[in-house]
A and B are shown apart, each in its own frame.
Chain A
Amino acid sequence: MIRRLSFTAAGVVVVIVLVVAFVGLFMLRRPGALEGTTTKLHLETVAAVGQANEWPRPNDPHPDWVGYLPTTTWKVPANSTIQVQIDQEDGASGLRNPFWGKVFGTEGGNMHVTYFDDKGNPQEGDMTSIDPTQAAHTFAIPDLGVFVPLLGVGDNAPPGTQNTITFSFKTRGPGIYRWQCFVPCAAGTLFGNGGPMQTIGYMGGTLIVT
């Protein structure tokens, strides 16, 4: 009887340890924050993090997942203007809510975009919105009221090119602000909202304001 109880107790302990280890390792497995506190964010968006041009992650557990690089955890100073440049390399997959095709919360209420038009010609200009069907991702910090749609690379753009989106926004007081993409861009998951959309380090992250 005691022997059986001992085996059962040992089994329970082993299961608990395994569960805690699994959850703990999962929680710890996330990209670190950008080194130091910065007022300039330079990011890259890619269809597959394993094939990125600027910050490839060859050892990523999900090399075929869509993601922001080099990380989605950023440290920025409070009450400051943050300048953002996003090198957008992914194609369009469209917004579920077209409303997010509008730019919110940036300085001047717009963004500057360099891109290739339908005929493959280079273009450049300030935009306050984009065609929601042509959105590849969004850069959104809802608690700061910042929502920026990112124009997808067109079908006729030269191979290997990117759209460059620049804008700036102001931070408020110290705190941790969640960041997310509003385009359901998780290929192969139901409604496009699984996998990378639900995992920090890909299409979700935090803005740490210090």
Chain B
Amino acid sequence: MGVFRIEEADRPHLLRLLIIWVVLSIVGILAALQIHYPPYDQSVQGQDQSRTLALLTILALPVFIGVVIMVLYSAIYFRRTTTELIDGPPMLGNTPVQIAWIAISAALVLFLAVVGIVTLASSNVAQAVNAPGRAIGQSGGQTGSGTAGGAGPELQVQVVAQQWYFTYRYADYGGVETTHLYLPVDRPVELHVTSLDIIHSFWAYQLGVKADANPGVDNIFHVTPQKTGSFQVRCAELCGLWHGHMADSEGQVVSQSEFDTWIAQQQKDYEVISKAVPSYAPFYFPEPLLKAG
């Protein structure tokens, strides 16, 4: 069996390809470093996801550029010039080359898999930010473990999906239900996502949270907002006529004092309907299931 060797005549091609690849890869990586990758940095988890996206892009770019320029270069310089139908040169093996590309590809893929898994795992863990002395609470069940208004354990917030709106219940504040999601900055939050009717998906884009909202299920996610400002909430699961409008751009990350003021007002407004709303629970089975017939 013959062994593939690079012919003397092909060395200029190889050198040219190598130079093009290195130059374009450097340019591509420099360009990639200028991009602000979603979901940006409004939460610790979102920032992790952005960094992971940047890393994946930077590692994938040289591979992508290498494949593309090899295809284009071959199409230009090794194009068949006659209409004569003849066999091309035989394809011969080269063990070192084969070992090299398999090893490099495997190393890249495994590295990316590890990075992705670690980010995914860390995205669903409560994380402290620059707030000395703030303890990260354990998952305290469904009744709330935090201290109202305090900078203590995780703030528990329930996301209640229904056709076609999200409402929110704050377990630590008597289960008060609100029409918008407000979160205090720098405080870990435990989100409990559920649905009253069909399958929805709670997507707080800038916070880097996307969680299925299933009826009868308490889907738990963690997020730690680290920058104040507004964020968007939308449904990411096709859920009927107004799915496209099941969104709210009035989500807010605010300071702890602003949050305390806001939640106190919500509790006051909520009093008029509080007795009619069921007690805070992991999920709800509204009765009767079949309404109006």
Specify which of B162, B241, B245, B248 is in contact with A97 (CB 8 Å cutoff). B162
Residues of B within 8 A of A93 (CB): 291-292
Select from chain B the residue with minimum beta-carbon distance to A183. B291
In Å, the complex CA distance between A199 and B290 comes to: 19
Q: Is B141 an interface residue (CB 8 A)?
A: no
B167 at the interface (CB under 8 A from A): yes
Contact present for B163 and A190 (CB under 8 Å): no
- The answer, among A98, A101, A104, for a CB contact under 8 Å with B179, is A104
Query: Are A185 and B291 in contact, CB atoms less than 8 angstroms apart?
Result: yes
Give bound CA distance, A178 to B198, whole Å. Answer: 20
B218 close to A (CB within 8 Å): no
Shortest Cβ distance from B165 into A: residue: A142
Cross-chain contact of A178 among B242, B290, B291 (Cβ < 8 A): B242
* Interface check A122, CB cutoff 8 A: no
Interface pair B273/A180, CB less than 8 Å apart: no
Chain B interface size, under 10 / 10 to 19 / 20 to 34 / 35 or more: 20 to 34
Roughly how many angstroms separate A97 CA and B160 CA in the complex, as a whole number? 9
What residues on A are CB-neighbors of B160 within 8 Å? 97
Contacts of A129 in B (CB 8 A): 272-273, 276
A94-112 interface code vs B (CB 8 A; 1 in, 0 out): 1011110110100000000
Tell yes or no: B186 within 8 A of A by CB.
no
Which B117-168 residues have a C-beta within 8 angstroms of A?
160, 162-165, 167
Asked whether, in the complex, the Cβ of B197 is within 8 Å of the Cβ of A185, the reply is no
Q: Which of B223-255 contact A (CB under 8 A)?
A: 240-242, 245, 248
Complex CA gap A184/B240 in Å reads 13
B162 surroundings in chain A (CB, below 8 A) = 96-97, 182
**How many residues belonging to A are interface residues under a CB distance threshold of 8 Å?**
36
A97 to chain B: which residues have CB within 8 Å? 160, 162, 167, 196, 286
**CB <8 Å contact, B292 and A186:** yes
Is A200 located at the chain interface by the 8 A CB criterion? yes
Which B residues are CB-close (under 8 A) to A131? 276
Residues of chain A within 8 A of B2, CB atoms compared: none
Q: For the complex, give the distance between the alpha carbons of A132 and B278 in Å.
A: 11
> Which residues in A have their C-beta under 8 angstroms from that of B163?
184, 193, 197
Within 8 A of A (CB), among B46-84: none
Q: Assess whether A99 is in contact with B277, with CB atoms less than 8 Å apart.
A: yes
Across the interface, do B290 and A66 meet the contact criterion of CB distance under 8 Å? no
Q: Measured between C-beta atoms, what is the minimum distance from A177 to chain B in Å?
A: 9
Q: What is the CB-to-nearest-CB distance from B291 to chain A, in angstroms, rounded to a whole number? A: 3
The answer to whether B292 and A192 have CB atoms under 8 Å apart is yes
User: A187 at interface (Cβ–Cβ under 8 A)?
Assistant: yes
The smallest beta-carbon distance between A169 and chain B, in angstroms, is 15
Query: Are the C-beta atoms of A204 and B241 separated by less than 8 Å?
Result: yes
Inter-chain CA distance A33–B263, complex, in Å, is 39
Q: Does A145 contact B (CB under 8 A)?
A: yes
**B293 touches A (CB below 8 Å):** yes
Q: Give the nearest-CB partner of B288 in chain A.
A: A94
| Cα A101 to Cα B271 with chains together (Å) | 12
Q: Are B241 and A192 in contact (CB under 8 A)?
A: no
- B291 in contact with A96 (CB, 8 Å): yes
Is the beta-carbon distance between A101 and B292 smaller than 8 angstroms? no
Chain A stretch 170-210: residues in CB contact (< 8 A) with chain B: 178, 180, 182-188, 190-193, 197-200, 204
A143: Cβ under 8 A from any B Cβ? yes
- Cα A188 to Cα B291 in complex, Å, equals 8
B289 at the interface (CB under 8 A from A): yes
Most buried by B among A129, A145, A188: A129
Whole-angstrom distance between the Cβ of A133 and the nearest chain B Cβ: 8
Q: Complex formed: what's the CA distance from A199 to B289 in Å? A: 21
Please tell me which one of the listed residues B198, B248, B273 contacts residue A193 in the complex, with CB atoms under 8 A apart. B198
B245 to A, closest residue via Cβ: A178
Write the nearest CB–CB distance from A206 to chain B, whole angstroms.
Answer: 10
> B177: CB under 8 A from chain A?
yes
Other A-B pairs, 20, CB within 8 Å; known A97-B167, A197-B241: A96-B286, A96-B291, A99-B167, A99-B273, A99-B277, A101-B273, A102-B270, A129-B276, A132-B273, A180-B241, A180-B242, A183-B292, A184-B163, A184-B292, A185-B291, A187-B292, A193-B198, A198-B241, A199-B241, A200-B241
Name A residues whose Cβ lies closer than 8 Å to a Cβ of B. 66, 93-94, 96-99, 101-102, 104, 128-129, 131-132, 142-143, 145, 147, 178, 180, 182-188, 190-193, 197-200, 204
Q: Which 8 pairs across A and B sit closest by C-beta, in order of nearness?
A: A187-B293, A192-B291, A93-B292, A102-B273, A184-B291, A187-B292, A178-B245, A198-B241
